[in-house]
Amino acid sequence: MSIAVRYEGHDRFEIGIRGHRVTVDQPRDAGGQDSGPTPTELFVASLAACVGFYAERFLRRHDLPAEDLEVRCDYEMSEDRPARVASVQIEVMTPTRLLPSRNEALRRVVEHCTVHNTIRLAPEMRVSVAARQRAA
C-alpha cells in the first residue's frame, strides 16, 4: 500500500490514497489556514473510525441495528516531549441497549481493531530523505 503526501503551501498538505484526496492543515492560531484536520486529528480520527467499523461489523453479525451507531473520541496531547498524543478516550454509542454480555463482547472486539493493534504493537518505521531533483 502506498500513500503520497504533497505540500500545497503554507501548512497545508494533500494526501493521496487509492485515488482519494484528503487535505490536512493547521488551525489558524497555529499558522495554518484551517482547510482540513491536523495530521494528529486525522490519526485519532482513524482510530475512532476503525473502532466504528469493527463495531458495525459486530452489530450486523449479531443481527443488531447499526444505523445510528456513533463513536465519540476525545484525546489529550502530552505536556512533555516528544510531542505525542498522551491519551485517547473512545466511547461507542450503540443504537440500542445491549445485554451486559454483548456489551462486553463488543468492547473486546473494538479494542482489537487494526489501528488499535498497530498502536499497541508499534510497527517498524524507517525514514529516509531523498531529493526529487539533482542539486543545482
The pLDDT confidence band at residue 36, using thresholds 50, 70 and 90, is very high
Residues 98, 24: Cα–Cα separation, whole Å: 37
The tens digit of pLDDT for each residue in 102-126 reads 999 999 999 999 999 999 999 999 9
Residues 136, 131: Cα–Cα separation, whole Å: 11
The tens digit of pLDDT for each residue in 39-75 reads 999 999 999 999 999 999 999 999 999 999 999 999 9
How much of the chain is helix, strand and coil, in % rounded to 5? 30, 25, 40
